[in-house]
Amino acid sequence: MQPDDIARQLAPKLGDGLLSVEPFPGTAGRVRFRSERALELFRAVRDDLHFGHLSMVGAIDWVDHREVFYVAWSDAATQYLFLSTDVPASAAHVESASSVWPSANWHEREAWEMVDVTFDNHPDLRHLLMPDGYAFHPLLRSFKLHEPEELEVKSRHV
């Protein structure tokens, strides 16, 4: 599967929600899409392109905006597909993929607590690796490694 094939199959469903499909190392390509059309894209990728397995979700802080990326796998094509969308840092949110791929659940929890991207309609958006009530987002560029943080850890279950 080549980037052009993917663009041809996705374009009728997504319209202007699809920004570009470009070559990407180790995968069939990188699909860049508008975050408002996320759910439609996920469904099209799963049902029309047959990428039934979502491997990971992550986010990158580019300071002026944040990038949310998804890696999907197709058993039929034995290929990965990289999906990515940009969200503004001031309103970093995107629709949760967990209604399409249940495996997104934990990955989105991690991306939320680490990079401060909110996943709308997520079934269970709470801390995963950090303690409850942790007020920082460690993978933001503004979180400096060499400065101490002050933290009061509360017990999770009373």
Query: Nearer Cβ to other proteins, position 7 or 128?
Result: 128
| Residue nearer to other proteins on the CB measure, 135 or 157 | 157
Q: Does residue 11 bind other proteins (CB under 8 A)?
A: no
Using the minimum distance from each CB to other proteins, give the nearer residue, 7 or 52. 52
What residues contact 11, with CB distance under 8 A and at least 6 apart?
Answer: 18
Give me 84's structure tokens.
């990515």
Sole residue written with tokens 């094509």: 77
Residue 82 binds other proteins (CB under 8 A): yes
**Adjacent-strand bridge partners of 79:** 74
Using the rule CB under 8 A, is 143 a contact of other proteins? yes
| Beta carbon nearer to other proteins, 17 or 72 | 72
What is the Cα–Cα distance from 74 to 21, expressed in whole angstroms?
17
| Least distance from other proteins to the Cβ atom of residue 15, Å | 27
Q: Which parts of 36-65 interact with other proteins (CB under 8 A)?
A: 52-56, 58, 60-61
Q: Does 136 bind other proteins (CB under 8 A)?
A: no
In order of 27, 96, 126, the CA distances from 107 in angstroms are 20, 10, 11
**Would you state the structure tokens that stand for residue 61, as one six-digit string?**
């802080």
Which CB, 12 or 102, lies closer to other proteins? 102
Q: Binders of other proteins: how many residues, by CB under 8 A?
A: 37
Tell me 93's DSSP state: E
Q: CA-to-CA distance for 74 and 80, rounded, in angstroms?
A: 7
Residue at token pair 């995963």:
128
Positions in the binding site for other proteins (CB under 8 A) = 24-27, 52-56, 58, 60-61, 69, 71, 75, 78-80, 82, 101-103, 105-107, 114, 127-131, 138-139, 143, 145, 156-157
